[in-house]
Structure 1
Amino acid sequence: MCRTVLHTIFLYLHILSAIGSIGPLFALIPMLKKMEVTEEADLSGFVQAFQYAINVIKHFGHVLVVSGIFLIILSGWTWTTSWIVLTIIGMMSSVFYLARAFKPTLKTFGTTDFNKANFIANLRKSTWLYIVILLIVLWLMVAKPNLW
């Protein structure tokens, strides 16, 4: 397969995985609003949906990273280009943040440590912070700023 075709395939995979890694987060925002008015006993479906969305985001993130690596190799960009370095830092931050932001909060559901108001507030804060991190990374990938 020629280099141009491979580049196009990986570019589409990269774009689709970027959509898949940020899109579900926006679906979680109205879900959090519904969780506020739902009785505590009826929250389990929402919590399962939230966990499922986080898993989808995580798997799309894997595709995003792999396709990004191939795009860098195929495109001729160097690993020391400013927007690539900052994108890698942002992606590593998002992976670290995803693992540490949602899991501890979600684990409290159904335990004696569970407090509905705190639970929803923590999920909301984590969702918005993760969206901000991913939007910064998305901006770096699209704008490709030359910062050094």
Structure 2
Amino acid sequence: MIGREIRMVYTFFLYTHVLSAIISIGPLFALLLILRKMEGAEEPQLWGFVQLFQSTITIIKHAGHVLVISGIILISLSGWTWTTSWVLLTVLVMVGSIIFLARAFKPTIRTFGTTNFNKETFIKKLRKATWLYILLLLIMLWFMVAKPQIW
């Protein structure tokens, strides 16, 4: 009976993990659409797009928290160890993506409405950061799905 209960708990956290991964990655593609809309918007209209962009980043960030917590629980419940190559590499890329996320979007968004604001530079930086963050998340997703045994 205990084995069945552990499998049910594991399955629950696995689905939670997958759902939070979807919520962490999916909205990033919506950000690209928001950026396209920003290109054609006049400066007074940009404020709404900037708020939407920030709200989307907040959703991604909180989904990432659920992703990390459910991942820790899944590793604890499984036979994988923290020194397994794909687990360790996922953690390293995750730490890098957390540092990147903190430095990529917030400083750029803070320039909005200041004398340092330049619409074209602003959009270019946000677009580049969005694509780089997508790449980092896809690398982590590959590690988690393919589980390559590098060592």
How far 1:76 sits from its partner (Å)? 1.3
**Cα distance in 1, alignment partners of residues 57 and 103 from structure 2:** 12
| Structure 1 residue aligned with 2:27 | 24
Q: Structure 2 unaligned segments of length 5 or more: list them.
A: none
Identity of aligned residues (%): 64
- The match for 2:116 is 113
Letter in 2 for 1:67: S
Does 1:8 find its partner at 2:11?
yes
TM-superposed deviation, 1:122: 0.3
Q: Deviation at 1:40?
A: 1.1
Q: Please list, as runs of the form range in 1=range in 2, the aligned pairs for 1:1-148 lying within 5 A after superposition.
A: 2-148=5-151
Give, in whole Å, the separation in 2 of the partners of 1:59 and 1:24: 12
CA distances 1:85-108 after superposition (whole Å, capped 9, x unpaired): 000001111111111100000000
Could you say what the CA RMSD is over the residues aligned between the two structures, in angstroms?
0.8
CA distance in 2, matches of 1:121, 1:40: 16
Tell me the SS of whatever aligns to 1:79. coil
TM-score (norm 1): 0.98
Partners of 1:53 and 1:118 in 2: CA distance: 20
5+ long unaligned stretches in structure 1 = none
Q: What is the deviation of 1:62?
A: 0.3
Distance 2:73 2:79 in 1: 10
- Distance in 2 of aligned mates of 1:33 and 1:138: 26
- Aligned counterparts of 1:34 and 1:117: Cα–Cα separation in 2: 13
Give the SS at the match of 1:80.
Answer: coil
Report the TM-score when normalising by structure 2.
0.96
Aligned partners of 2:26 and 2:96: how far apart in 1? 18
Segments of 4+ moved more than 4 angstroms: none
SS of corresponding position for 2:128: helix
Structure 1 position 22, deviation (Å): 0.7
